[in-house]
Amino acid sequence: MSALSLKDKRIIVTGASTGIGAAAAEIMGSLGAKVLVAARSEDKLKKVAESVTKAGGEGHYLAADMGKEDDILALVDKAKSLWGGVDGVFANAGISGLAAPIQDYPLEAYDEVMNVNLKSMFILIQRVLPGMIEQGSGSIVCTGSIASERGAPMTPAYVMSKHAIVGLVRAAASEVAKLNIRVNCLLPGVINTPLLEPLAEHVAGGDMDKTLEILDAMVPQRRIGKPEEAGWLAAFLLSDAAAYINAQSLAVDGGLLGIMRS
């Protein structure tokens, strides 16, 4: 097996202004990667790009909304203009969306979640694959969720989108595996990111400390995860050390999936 390195790998990371995306980008920089980070917040992205460079890599950023096709195309075009191509993609952008029962779920909210969580990944994969096919190599990692494997109440669009991401990964991998391109899915469990903030309203009336206490108790390892713990798996999957891992869905969840009913 190759040592864990991303030396001179050209990587796009979406959803990179905070949380798992930001942590993964910095880790990739520490492994020698050239990283183009994207999200909607330009100020936060600039700091993440700087942290990538400070860690030993080469950091760049582009403020982009992954819910907009033109922004996705501009992101890939910027990577090409910077480096001439792309070796890896960490498609991490996603939203939790509205919490409501199915019978009351507005179609507008459904469309927004599916657009950001699923359609954006489909377009991004479509756009980067031709270059990867031409160069004969590449690795793509898509962020799903433990909700890719289990149901959850009040979040139908989120659960549907995360299940569908696994299908997209498997479909893409089945097409391009023979071309030396790998596509895998990262399944974060309960990770301490800004996505927990809306959850606090439902779990403990907005009390984040109480919410974290409740969530810690749910996990077999008795704590929720850190963004960098998911970020390291993303970096590994993009590296040559994971050269024989393809079409897989790998959880970073402290054992939570193991005790959840299927």
Q: Catalytic residue numbers? A: 158
In whole angstroms, give the CA distance from residue 50 to residue 29.
10
Sign of CA dihedral 229, 67, 159, 99: positive
The candidate with the shortest Cα–Cα distance to 124, out of 13, 201, 47, is 13
- The Cβ of residue 164 has, within 10 Å, a number of other Cβ atoms equal to 18
Q: With beta carbons less than 8 A apart as the criterion, state whether 88 and 238 touch.
A: yes
Q: With beta carbons less than 8 A apart as the criterion, state whether 109 and 67 touch.
A: no
Distances (CA, A) of 12 to 100, 175, 197: 33, 21, 26
